[in-house]
Amino acid sequence: MIFTVAIDGPAAAGKGTIARAVAARFGFAHLDTGLLYRAVGALGGDPVLAARGLVPDDLAREDLRSLAAGQAASRVAVIPEVRAALTDFQRRFARAEGGAVLDGRDIGTVICPEAEVKLYVTASAQVRAHRRWLELGGDAAQVLAEVVERDKRDSERATAPLKPAADALVLDTSDMGIEQAVARAIATVEERLKA
């Protein structure tokens, strides 16, 4: 069975947690596409060469969840040649036999516009910054400033800007517990699988 669940949204909205839960529930493969960009940014050097030479081991680096890696990912993600180098990898993953869940910024709009399910997970910048601060620590005002800066860069980039697909279900997790958000996502996938 080929079945793709595309989950998009800004940083710290909960899309990764939801994606892992959906993949586990249905036995689908999961790809956090942000790790691809984080790995390219963390590798340093020429980002285009890094993207073209990316190997699975590069996605296992311990430092890929850091705030610095997230900022680096956002910077390299605006480079069209980097995006092109990583697009084919993501599309092959998405349409492999057995089902797949991909989470990122442009899965439902660019990478997999044919996905059977599209979700856009979001929350206010203040809520997302607080979540990131709880996870990583640091100066709360600085974390908020970085979240706002990243949102602006991701949503205003010329290539594949962050935005919900026209046919995506929008899940605003600002006032929603993770259990509720996961249940809503699972119900959406179950409805589509039955259809």
Contacts of 47 (CB under 8 A, 6+ apart): 40, 41, 76, 79, 82
The DSSP annotation for 82-146 comes to HHHHHHHHHHHHHTSTT-EEEEESSIIIII-TT-SEEEEEE--HHHHHHHHHHHH-S-HHHHHHH
Contacts of 192 (CB under 8 A, 6+ apart): 116, 117
Annotated binding site for ATP: 9-17
Q: Which helix (H) or strand (E) element contains residue 65?
A: none
Which residue's entry shows tokens 């958000």? Answer: 181
